[in-house]
Structure 1
Amino acid sequence: MNVDSEKFKQVSFNNYGNVTIMGDISTLDFNTPYKITGVETKGKYGMSYKVISCRRDKPTTSEETYTFLKSILTLNQANELYKNYPNVIDMVLNNEPIDLSIVKGIGEKSFKKIRDKIIDNFKLMDLINEFKGLLSINVIRKMYDKYASIEKVRAKVLDDPYKFLCDLSGIGFKTADMMLLDFQKSNTIDFGYDLKTSKQRCRSCILYTLKENENNGSTRVRLEELNEQVKTLTPECANKFVECLKEDDIYYHVDNENHPYVSIKSTYETEKYIYDRIINANKFKEVYDCNYKDYTKIDEAQLTETQNNALKNLCENQFSILVGYSGTGKSFSVQGILNMLNDLGKNFTLLAPTGKASKVLGNYTGVDAQTIHRGLGYVPPKWTYNEENKLNCDVLIIDEVSMTDIFLFKRVLEAIDFRRTKMLIIGDPAQLPSVACGNLLHDLLSIKELPCTKLTEVFRYNDGGLMKVATDVRNSVQYLKEQKDSKKKMMVYGDNKDYTFINADKLEGINYLVTIYKRVLESYKPDEVTVLSCYRKGDFGSVALNGLLQPLANPHDVNDIHVTVKNQEFYIGDIVMQTVNNREAIAVTLDEQFGNKEWVEYKTNIFLANGETGVIKDITDDLIVIDFNDVLIGYSREDMQNVSLAYAITCHKSQGSQNKVIILFTPSSHTYMLNSNIIYVGLTRMQEKVFHIGDINTINRAVLKKENFERNTWLKELKNI
């Protein structure tokens, strides 16, 4: 900030002679005067100011309005909008409709950016000031978007403050609780009752605890455990616990062993829906009239009797399961199924939970495969295929089901009419369960009534290479032996030398990793090589590794066009990953209607899942264009906060994907996270070669540990409820 030091003599400078501000505020414009109230905060670089309020004067002249528009939009967009709506600021503040069809080059996404900017700067600041800066601009904006009235926002805060802040604004209970109690203590808001002992507070604490339980994978919790947590977090209102359990959005049940369980009601209903639909699916029994044994030969390979059972189950049932470990021939079984369906004249749809998994499915079948979201026609917030509009296919096949959470799977079942559509789900029971709650594949495998084919024979085990190593890891066999010759660092396994172990730990391992990466890039493209680590953060996590790999994979000069976000520099050509679900991505295309090339939006509300990877194609003053599976997406600097480099990624993020070369780094500092399942996932991402860098003792200990697949869920117990 530039501050008039003569006029504001009390303002403190930091160690570098600058005046700096910090806080959750709207994006500030260059060369614009702001009136700021802040609290002095001593930090790493000296004194700074935590912003309590930040406002700017509303433009009063045409020239000021035009300057404001140019600070948000491209020059051509600003010209177009100002030409058609010179009073656009007042129109937005008065919630007047604006016809974008007459404004060239500005779509809904671009206009939302200017609308938010106007409202943030000239309307919401009063509300921020009213709450003394305790509510961020993002929270205030969510409130305003919901009710479009400052007066209604005030009323809702008073009516049920915990529900309002936690449900609508996405604030966690602990933060909301601290804020609201602070509001009451400071007399910022008079709620008319004591929040600390209120039923609203107890109910919100219960829902928070249940949600945290879901974030850890389970869908229900023992009553006693829930009660203890509520007593710990909010002892003043814990006496309202029993009363709150009677609320409509909470489900309570005592099982046959007299164990009481509690969950969020909608989560219970999701698992109940899944169970009922699948159990009832095979009552329809449309049996295909064909000899499935005629399809045992795939190219030069022959399906085993067990593999062929997957074809039999599909012919005879509306719902069936195919599971198998890496190397057991799931892909050959699927190819036999598709050959059979083609001969029968049946149309089929192939889906997978992520873009990477659908690409793998498409590659080994030779058939177009889609993500579940795309296959169901998800255009946020609507699903094209649903209970009213069913999928039009004879067979639906979903791969990598272990990655699919219960809520997404419910969407799939809603879109199926089992009277005409068969469903086959495929998975690897040794892979990690979904990040979201539920344990779908493992729970379904525990339901004995469901027809299931389990493949266990690993065909290339005797080759002594990757398939043997991966199988030994899965079976907790310590395949690495201590080397008598301590100078021998590299051990090559297998007839085709597809697995190489490098006995090097931490910094020495990093040096080997960089050397191997350079050498591999002599024969492979950067997007054909993936480095895997257990952790994202830390000295040996994927973030740090990306810093080492980026200049090797995408060499750049300091003067090359780039954008810096959260201390990370992104260059054209960088491989990147979306790190959270994006339901409002915007597709862009190059347009020359203004006489020069400019990126313009042509399709809105595209869904990009957490974990999708892409390549940066262009960087302009206000846009970063990323190619996600041949769809060009336009990102702002703000959007890039949810994007990371992807030369190195975590093993969890890699699940469902494959690449030609995998470099797996498992240093001893990752011991806490390492187990046989994590290593198994990392190893089985490869198509041609794996270079595994780590410490022998660390790996030998890790393969004896198993991922805890136990999650407390309703699905596997519903038969007894």
Structure 2
Amino acid sequence: MIMIEGNLERITFQNEENHYTIARLSTGKSNSMITIVGFMAGISPGQTLRLSGNWETHPRYGQQFKIETFEVRLPETIEGIQKYLESGVIQNIGPLIAKRLVRYFGPKTLEIIEQYPERLTEVHGIGKAKARQIESAWKGHHIVRELMQFLQARGIKGSYSALILKEYGEGALEILKNDPFQLAEDIPGIGFVIADTISQYNGAPLNDPKRIRGCIQHLIGQGENDGHTFLPDTNIIDQCRQTFQINPETTAIALKELADKGTVVIEEHEDAQVVKAVYSKELYQAEQGIANRFKALLSVPMPPLSMNPEQITQEILQKLAIQLSSEQLNVLEQILNHRAAVITGGPGTGKTTLIRSVNAIFERLGKLVVLAAPTGRAAKRLSEVVQREAKTIHRLLKYNLKEQRFEINQNNPIDADVIIIDEASMVDTLLLFHLIRAVPVTSVLILVGDVFQLPSVGPGNVLKDIIQSNVIPVYYLKTIFRQAQESPIIVNAHMVRDWNQKGEVPDFQTAKTDDELSEFYFIQKSDPLAVVETIKILCSQSIPHRFNYNPIRDIQVLTPMHKGLIGTINLNQELQNILNPGKNGMEIMGVTYKKDDKVMHLKNNYEKEVFNGDIGTISSIDNQTRQVTVDYEGRTVNYEAEEMHELSLAYAISVHKSQGSEYPVVIVPLLTQHYIMLQRNLLYTAMTRGKKLVILIGTRKALSAAVNNDKPKERLSGLTRRLLLN
């Protein structure tokens, strides 16, 4: 860590929400100017800053000092004090009042404001009301700075200060000192580990009951982030002991107390390896609710069909001008007999064609059908193929952002006879619970998806669990259609999915010569830098020139991880530099955004009607108002600077973020540097995102590791068990 001290000359940029700052500092006897970046509150020109951090090189702005901690020394000279107050750092003190204050009180000006604010009325132009305003502004200014320095002294990012101040106001420091675990309960984004760091720094005992309860809930939440709906009690007790030095007996007592309060649910599994499963109350109710609702649906018999199934099927196929395989025809006729069913199959097996047919048949029978999918992109794709409206599940259930609840629920169910959900592998336990309890028992629920793809980001593995239970009718589509059989992308994807030659590498269908055009390529490169350069050349030159695809709109790089040379962060920077160079942009949180950049929205925003995974292009940037406008396929959405955390560059995105989407061209880097993420279902998911061209770049060793790792990380879930018990 490097220490630097200097005078703050000017603030180039400061985010009012999280205090991310870019500023210029004069240092040393020569007063040489340097750029400093980091989270700093309560600073203004004229102050002396003592900083710790490290030098880094920004690709566009060059060398700058990245701040880890900062300490403010208030100016002591008359000139410094006047410059400090003139900067506007204290509300209600402008240049004129600043001059009068300094002229009257001299070097004691700041001392008077802080300790004797009633004396401010001695200065011409400052009455009692104005003096009170200055006193209040001074206190607020120092609270922010003291809070940030309190956090940074404990090794915690100063950016959290804005969240803490918003929640607690002037009492923030008091809570941090006396009850830091309250933060983890009250403020999203500040978890147990941060609260515990503050608590330990404050000298609190390791066996503090609040600490133990917080630790248990933290571990359950961590398990949910990893996809589990529960954790074994032994895991929680062991992790509390190993990571947080909490006595096992004490943890067991705290677990029982939390269960008695109803915060967690402890369930005994006599028929399984896990003796006691610990759930959050919410996920326990979700699993139980899903199983109960499926039981209710399946208990209501379907009424007799008003027409002969074969007759209506032929009528619909003629109308749609499509042909179905015997496998699909069998599904079509059988599915009319069930209140709930699953259709699963890989690419090219006709899942979407079957959805069109099922939709048309039920409509012909006079039934009201609704189509939905987990994401906006998946819903849009479904709508295009079936040629009728498809909604996101959240929109179908009318999510109320203000009240954070679904307006369509068990008391106000979905107004439809048939509900068809596509891309069901992406649906997590909580979302399925909210969906299924809004399905009337007299309606039909059909889940469609590819069970071999990556599971949902949220907890659970519902499609796999439902299929494994054998309680709900499941229809497997295995036949690859002739047209699909001619696609190297589909053939190679199925080869990966069904691979059973341990230690070997698939012999992919690809171009045999450099002159031959193909839909699939495997380019062997072992050096990460060489992979990055190859991706840049492919995106900027080879693919646009040889295949006539737009480098920004049509090509999508999918990578397993965010960090490293071939992670999303570095690849986005590299691809932005080569595909969208030389334009003035706006830097926010260390990322420069430019007009025409490809960006992705990262979280559902119902006010703006943009959703997690939506990809658009920046159509304009206003540096004066610090506003960015994004074009989402003809629909424009405005973002203020403080909302830009909802966006990221999208030249390269994670494979998880690509689920439910298709792209004309997909490029996938595959190296052993991402060994932990080299899984068969991840590679399979990435390959099946490409419609016209898929290019893998990497080593045979990494490819072998991926195709031979057919056991993705296990997710602990009780849904299969509950379905069987029901």
TM-score by length of 2: 0.76
Q: Is the 8 A contact 1:196 1:237 kept in 2?
A: no
- The one-letter amino acid of 1:577's match is M
Structure 2 residue aligned with 1:626: 630
Structure 2 residue aligned with 1:614: 616
Structure 2 residue aligned with 1:393: 416
Q: Is the 8 A contact 2:505 2:700 kept in 1?
A: no
Matches within 5 A, 1:280-679: 280-287=296-303, 288-293=305-310, 294-295=312-313, 297=317, 299=320, 301-381=322-402, 382=404, 383-419=406-442, 421-460=443-482, 462-463=485-486, 465-476=488-499, 480-481=506-507, 497-506=518-527, 507-517=529-539, 518-522=541-545, 523-525=548-550, 526-554=552-580, 556=581, 558=582, 560-578=583-601, 580-583=602-605, 605-606=607-608, 608-621=610-623, 622-679=626-683
Q: Is the 8 A contact 1:39 1:51 kept in 2?
A: yes
Change in CA separation of 1:236 and 1:432 when aligned onto 2, cut-off 3 Å: closer
* 2:206 counterpart SS class: helix
Rounded to whole Å, the distance in 2 between the matches of 1:690 and 1:657 is 14
CA distances 1:235-255 after superposition (whole Å, capped 9, x unpaired): 355442122112121211221
Rounded to whole Å, the distance in 1 between the matches of 2:37 and 2:29 is 13
* 1:274 counterpart SS class: helix
Structure 2 residue aligned with 1:104: none
Rounded to whole Å, the distance in 1 between the matches of 2:147 and 2:329 is 66
Q: 1:253 aligns with which of 264, 267, 272?
A: 267
Structure 1 residue aligned with 2:288: 272
Rounded to whole Å, the distance in 2 between the matches of 1:610 and 1:540 is 23
- The one-letter amino acid of 2:277's match is Y
Change in CA separation of 1:661 and 1:540 when aligned onto 2, cut-off 3 Å: same
* 2:641 counterpart SS class: coil
- Bigger Cα Rg: 2
Aligned-residue CA RMSD (Å): 3.9
Matches within 5 A, 1:30-429: 33=45, 40=52, 50-51=69-70, 57-60=89-92, 121=141, 124=144, 139-143=160-164, 145-146=166-167, 150-151=170-171, 161-183=180-202, 185=203, 195-246=205-256, 247=258, 248-257=262-271, 259-287=275-303, 288-293=305-310, 294-295=312-313, 297=317, 299=320, 301-381=322-402, 382=404, 383-419=406-442, 421-429=443-451
CA distances 1:341-397 after superposition (whole Å, capped 9, x unpaired): 232232222211112212221222122222222232224234332344322222221
Q: Is the 8 A contact 1:492 1:500 kept in 2?
A: no
* 5+ long unaligned stretches in structure 2: 10-24, 57-63, 75-87, 98-128
Rounded to whole Å, the distance in 2 between the matches of 1:471 and 1:172 is 42
Change in CA separation of 1:244 and 1:540 when aligned onto 2, cut-off 3 Å: same
**Offset of 1:124 from its aligned partner?**
4.9
**Offset of 1:221 from its aligned partner?**
1.7
Bigger shift: residues 569-578 or 695-704? 695-704
**Offset of 1:159 from its aligned partner?**
7.8
* 1:500 counterpart SS class: strand
Rounded to whole Å, the distance in 2 between the matches of 1:62 and 1:438 is 57
Structure 1 residue aligned with 2:32: 17
**Offset of 1:48 from its aligned partner?**
6.0
Change in CA separation of 1:515 and 1:164 when aligned onto 2, cut-off 3 Å: closer
Rounded to whole Å, the distance in 1 between the matches of 2:139 and 2:321 is 66
* 1:446 counterpart SS class: helix
**Identity of matched residues, %:** 24
**Offset of 1:720 from its aligned partner?**
3.8
CA distances 1:630-689 after superposition (whole Å, capped 9, x unpaired): 442222334334432222222222121101222333245444422322221122112222
Change in CA separation of 1:25 and 1:611 when aligned onto 2, cut-off 3 Å: farther
Rounded to whole Å, the distance in 2 between the matches of 1:360 and 1:14 is 63
Change in CA separation of 1:52 and 1:708 when aligned onto 2, cut-off 3 Å: same
- The one-letter amino acid of 1:220's match is F
- The one-letter amino acid of 1:576's match is V
Rounded to whole Å, the distance in 1 between the matches of 2:515 and 2:675 is 22
Q: Is the 8 A contact 2:413 2:439 kept in 1?
A: yes
Q: Is the 8 A contact 1:546 1:647 kept in 2?
A: yes
Bigger shift: residues 287-296 or 331-340? 287-296
Rounded to whole Å, the distance in 2 between the matches of 1:482 and 1:205 is 48
Change in CA separation of 1:47 and 1:262 when aligned onto 2, cut-off 3 Å: closer
Q: Is the 8 A contact 2:496 2:506 kept in 1?
A: no
TM-score by length of 1: 0.76
* 5+ long unaligned stretches in structure 1: 66-89, 95-116, 186-193, 586-604
Structure 1 residue aligned with 2:100: none
- The one-letter amino acid of 1:165's match is A
Structure 1 residue aligned with 2:101: none
Question: Aligned residues, how many?
Answer: 625
Rounded to whole Å, the distance in 2 between the matches of 1:312 and 1:213 is 41
Q: Is the 8 A contact 1:654 1:685 kept in 2?
A: yes
